[in-house]
Structure 1
Amino acid sequence: MYKVLVTDGISSTGLKSLMEHPHFVVERQPTLPVEELKKIIGDYDALIVRSQTKVTAELLQAAEKLRVIARAGVGVDNIDVNAATRKGIIVINAPGANTIAATEHTLAMMLSLARKIPQAHQKTSAGEWDRNSFKGVELYKKTLGVIGMGKIGTEVAKRAKSFGMNILGFDPYLTEDRAKKLGITKASLDLIATESDFITIHTPLTNDTRGLVNDDYLRKTKKGVRFVNCARGGVIDEKALVRAIQAGHVAGAALDVFEKEPVSDPDLLQNPNIIVTPHLGASTVEAQEKVAQEVSAEIIEIFETQSIQNAVNMPQMSGETQAKLQPYLLLGDQMGQVVIQLLNKQAPTKIEINYYGDLIDEDTELLTRTLLKGVLSYHLSDSVNLINALHLLKEQGVSYNVVKNATNKGFANYMELSVSQGSEEARIGATVLNGYGARILKINQYRIDVKPEKYLLYIKHRDVPGMIGKVGSLLGDHNINIGTMQVGRTEVGGEAIMVLTLDKTLSANVIQVLTGIDGLEEAQLLELSNVDVFEPGQLELEKVESI
């Protein structure tokens, strides 16, 4: 018998298949205090949560039997996925079950915003008949800017067209062909700002999207624009939005998600031009039943057949395969994250993976998916995982190719990953060395030897005397400590690169000052989000002579 603990309010109808299964015992303990949860979590094989329960690394230390954590929804912000992965716990979600609910809530918020329905209801229900204060605007022939054309953004665009709206869509992976099929216009963020009457947000929260709608962006927008956010708090800078509304530039906003939840900021809660709801995007009877049904079915499959469909972290592997590939899985994810940043954070149209040495004899499907996930996760965040990476590539129109080469490139195992968009290409090569761990050995055409770290500073420069000293001195002046520095060049006096590991991040101001150094052509901070997901492992690799 497998014991399943449900700690948040989950639909009983949706859990029916799990509750009636002869091999599972389901116990419901919603709103359980964290200290009580820590005391009992060690008895359970699976845990089902929504957004209220915080599954922390501390809690997981007590979860001796836990094999599966199921999020009855999409986002896994309340789950320490890295800690779960380290313990070999599978984290699953229900990525498509709340699409319709979130789509319809977005449209409801947009209509409420256009017609001031909540404000009119509040005044009327208080006994005041006021027909003059709530003059709205029509959606017909207005322009809607959709930032993020994933599943929900696409469904919003389809429905908004039925109101006779003109749709501008932005997404790193939106192609002209797909936009044409949807009957919308592919647009830049700036075009959406200058042309849209309504702007709705449907992006994940990443380093690039955090504060995407800020003071600078709001200044570009059309006077009288209205914003809707039912995606993720933090994409809109709330303070900047309030300032723009108070100044009369932005007509209003409808927000379902916030930087801090529950929201308590009076500037948001008491502003007559801002509509707020308490993160209700997925809160429909149907959506809650669907997410519960999806995770229930998946839990049964995992325990009964070892089949995994919606894992957001690494699925289980055989012991032998895990021993061989585990160090490369982390490295592959890191390579993907680095190479997409080297492509100036553009969405690629083509990806190529090359395996060399002993890796060609292994089943590298999981490793391939990991590399692709690393590339896609920069723009798609936690909406991409090892299971859906190939599907998302196809959906976004990105081609990929895998080549296995008999030559060893000077190492027992070696892999290269390249991404391209048009004539622009970025390439990275890496391996795992016994006793040394992961090493990045090639960036574009330059040979280097760098251990992946959270903060990497990539510099392209002329190979002239004094360059290293100038960079080091400047970083020191800004209190930035350098861990290591590696230089790569193809010829003396020509172009070269420098890759430094740093103890902390860099501000845009420091980057700007660096690029002011004579002969320094480019400086870019490369950030990795998962430098500690896996231990290096016990895989023994030997560097062999280059041929």
Structure 2
Amino acid sequence: MYKVLVTDGISQTGLKCLVDHANFIVERQPTLPTDELKKIIGDYDALIVRSQTKVTGELLEAAGRLRVIARAGVGVDNIDVNAATKKGIIVINAPGANTIAATEHTLAMMLAMARKIPQAHQKTSCGEWDRNSFKGVELYKKTLGVVGMGKIGTEVAKRAKGFGMNILGFDPYLTEDRAKKLGITKASLDLIAAEADFITIHTPLTNDTRGIINDEFLSKTKKGVRFVNCARGGIIDEKALVRAIQSGHVAGAALDVFEKEPVADPELLQNPNIIVTPHLGASTVEAQEKVAEEVSAEIVEIFEKQSIQNAVNMPQMSGETQAKLQPYLVLGDQVGQLVIQLLKNSAPTKIEINYYGDLIDEDTELLTRTMLRGVLSYHLSDSVNLINVLHLLKEQGVSYNVQKNATNKGFANYLELSVSQGDETARIGATVLNGYGARIVKINQYRIDVKPEKYLLYIKHQDVPGMIGKVGSLLGDYQINIGTMQVGRTEVGGEAIMVLTLDKTLGTEVSRELVQIPGLDEAQFLELSNVDTFDAGRIEPQAVESV
């Protein structure tokens, strides 16, 4: 018999599959202080909480038999995930249970904004009958741009079609075939800016999506466009949005999420053309039941079938294996992050991993997942972790293949990762050299020797005299210091590459000037999120949207 402790206000209906299961005993307690919870936690195999109970490292020290901590919701800020990981405790959440709630809230916000319902309600409830100030617009035959065609974005698009809207969908993983099946048009961000009457956001918050709706994007939009954001604060540059509304270019906005919460900015709260709600996307009775149902079902799967889908911490491995593979885990994550950027930020449809040397005798499952996570994290951010990465690959229709090769590549251990979309392929080969550390030794067909650093500049050019000097001179003009520079070529006078490590980020203006150098064909800035360690703490819960 497995004993499950339930604290906080968890839906009783949602717990039904656990309560009715013959192999589980479910006991409910009110939210308890850590000291009180410590006295009883040692008797339980699983713990289900919402946000009130604080699952600290101190508490987990007393949890001798605890195997699973379930958060009936998305965020796990109240759970010490690292402490749980060290003790081998699986932490799970319910990332998909709020899809319908967030979808319907998005449509509600869009309608409320289009018909000025909150403003009209406020004035009418104050006793003023004003029918002239609140003339709205119809959704029928308008164009809706959906930025992020994951679960929520897809459901929004389906429902918006019911209003007779034309749908433009942007997502790096959206294929022409899937768009056709949904009855929408696959579009670029520029096309959405140019043609959309309404734009709704449904992406995770990543370095790539932060501030994606900014002054430059807004300048490309139609006059009178309206925005909805029920995904994550920070995707829209709020100051830029306010400026565009004040100028009259943007007609309005409906915001459920904000850069800082609770929001206090009067320019957002007091603007008559902006309607706001306090992060209510998942706040429905049904959603709260679903999160309880989802974690309850997964607890049964974990204990009965050892099947895990929504864990937010890393899988376990022996200390000996982890010590041996540790430098390759760091390197694998870095290679994954870099190779997807070399694919020009496109989403891959095919991934291939090859191992050589002594690595073929090791259990490389964690290393494989680490590289795959590095690839997907560029677009999916913290919504991808070491547990769900294979599930997400399947969900997105990305094929992957792993091979262990007995042939020698000139190194004791060598790994090679390639990602492809259509005819485009990006490939990186890497190794760890005794006494020298991690090295990238191949990029596409070029031999190279580069230590992974946070800021890298990849340049493709013609192998002609003076090229290195011109690049160095231009970077110097912008006060950008070069750490190292490595050059690779396949033949004298032909195409070549150079890879530079930099001390700081590279602006778009510098990139534009670099490609003006005669004979320089391509300049791409690459950035790594982690450089020195395999960061288990980076395995975070899924964001509001999972692309």
TM-score, length of structure 2 as denominator length: 0.84
- Cα shift readout 1:233-256 (whole Å, capped 9, x = no counterpart): 111111111111111121111111
2:204 maps to: 204
1:174–1:315 distance in 2 versus 1, CA, 3 Å: same
2:421 maps to: 421
Please list, as runs of the form range in 1=range in 2, the aligned pairs for 1:343-354 lying within 5 A after superposition. Answer: 343-354=343-354
One-letter identity of the residue aligned with 1:235: I
SS at match of 1:315: coil
CA distance in structure 1 between the partners assigned to 2:75 and 2:511 by the alignment = 33
CA distance in structure 2 between the partners assigned to 1:264 and 1:70 by the alignment = 32
CA distance in structure 2 between the partners assigned to 1:83 and 1:335 by the alignment = 28
- Whether the 8 Å contact between 2:140 and 2:164 is mirrored in structure 1 is yes
Please list, as runs of the form range in 1=range in 2, the aligned pairs for 1:25-64 lying within 5 A after superposition. Answer: 29=31, 64=61
CA distance in structure 2 between the partners assigned to 1:108 and 1:523 by the alignment = 44
- Cα shift readout 1:37-66 (whole Å, capped 9, x = no counterpart): 9x98998898867678999xxx76996568
SS at match of 1:200: strand
CA distance in structure 1 between the partners assigned to 2:168 and 2:428 by the alignment = 35
1:535–1:152 distance in 2 versus 1, CA, 3 Å: closer
SS at match of 2:368: helix
One-letter identity of the residue aligned with 2:338: V
Alpha-carbon shift at residue 228 of structure 1 (Å):
0.8
1:397 and 2:389 matched:
no
- Whether the 8 Å contact between 2:3 and 2:24 is mirrored in structure 1 is no
- Whether the 8 Å contact between 1:446 and 1:488 is mirrored in structure 2 is yes
CA distance in structure 2 between the partners assigned to 1:50 and 1:184 by the alignment = 37
> Which sections of structure 2, spanning at least 5 residues, go unmatched?
537-547
1:80–1:349 distance in 2 versus 1, CA, 3 Å: farther
1:377 maps to: 377
1:314 maps to: 314
Alpha-carbon shift at residue 371 of structure 1 (Å):
2.2
Alpha-carbon shift at residue 206 of structure 1 (Å):
1.3
1:174–1:451 distance in 2 versus 1, CA, 3 Å: same
- Cα shift readout 1:142-189 (whole Å, capped 9, x = no counterpart): 221111111111111111111122111111111111111111111221
Q: CA RMSD in A?
A: 3.6
Alpha-carbon shift at residue 515 of structure 1 (Å):
3.3
- Cα shift readout 1:460-500 (whole Å, capped 9, x = no counterpart): 23334444444445444434343333222223343322222
1:541 maps to: none
- Cα shift readout 1:83-115 (whole Å, capped 9, x = no counterpart): 976886654331211111111111111111111
Alpha-carbon shift at residue 293 of structure 1 (Å):
3.5
1:437 maps to: 437
1:273 and 2:273 matched:
yes
1:150 maps to: 150
1:190–1:323 distance in 2 versus 1, CA, 3 Å: same
CA distance in structure 1 between the partners assigned to 2:472 and 2:82 by the alignment = 33
- Whether the 8 Å contact between 2:72 and 2:295 is mirrored in structure 1 is yes
2:129 maps to: 129
Please list, as runs of the form range in 1=range in 2, the aligned pairs for 1:165-180 lying within 5 A after superposition. Answer: 165-180=165-180
TM-score, length of structure 1 as denominator length: 0.84
CA distance in structure 1 between the partners assigned to 2:466 and 2:500 by the alignment = 16
- Whether the 8 Å contact between 1:42 and 1:62 is mirrored in structure 2 is no
1:228 maps to: 228
- Whether the 8 Å contact between 1:312 and 1:382 is mirrored in structure 2 is no
CA distance in structure 1 between the partners assigned to 2:419 and 2:28 by the alignment = 46
Alpha-carbon shift at residue 343 of structure 1 (Å):
1.0
1:523 maps to: 523
2:539 maps to: none
**Same amino acid, percent of matched pairs:** 83
One-letter identity of the residue aligned with 1:126: C
330-339 vs 107-116, greater mean Cα deviation: 330-339
SS at match of 1:223: coil
CA distance in structure 2 between the partners assigned to 1:205 and 1:212 by the alignment = 10
One-letter identity of the residue aligned with 1:246: Q
- Cα shift readout 1:498-518 (whole Å, capped 9, x = no counterpart): 222333322222333433444
1:219–1:89 distance in 2 versus 1, CA, 3 Å: farther
1:513–1:42 distance in 2 versus 1, CA, 3 Å: farther
CA distance in structure 2 between the partners assigned to 1:27 and 1:286 by the alignment = 22
Number of paired residues? Answer: 528
Please list, as runs of the form range in 1=range in 2, the aligned pairs for 1:232-243 lying within 5 A after superposition. Answer: 232-243=232-243
CA distance in structure 2 between the partners assigned to 1:345 and 1:200 by the alignment = 22
- Whether the 8 Å contact between 1:41 and 1:62 is mirrored in structure 2 is no
SS at match of 1:253: strand
1:26–1:530 distance in 2 versus 1, CA, 3 Å: farther
- Whether the 8 Å contact between 1:3 and 1:43 is mirrored in structure 2 is no
1:544 maps to: none
1:252 maps to: 252
Alpha-carbon shift at residue 535 of structure 1 (Å):
7.9
282-291 vs 328-337, greater mean Cα deviation: 328-337
SS at match of 1:427: strand
CA distance in structure 2 between the partners assigned to 1:15 and 1:449 by the alignment = 55
CA distance in structure 1 between the partners assigned to 2:40 and 2:456 by the alignment = 39
One-letter identity of the residue aligned with 2:283: S
Alpha-carbon shift at residue 442 of structure 1 (Å):
0.9
1:502 maps to: 502
- Whether the 8 Å contact between 1:455 and 1:504 is mirrored in structure 2 is yes
CA distance in structure 1 between the partners assigned to 2:512 and 2:59 by the alignment = 47
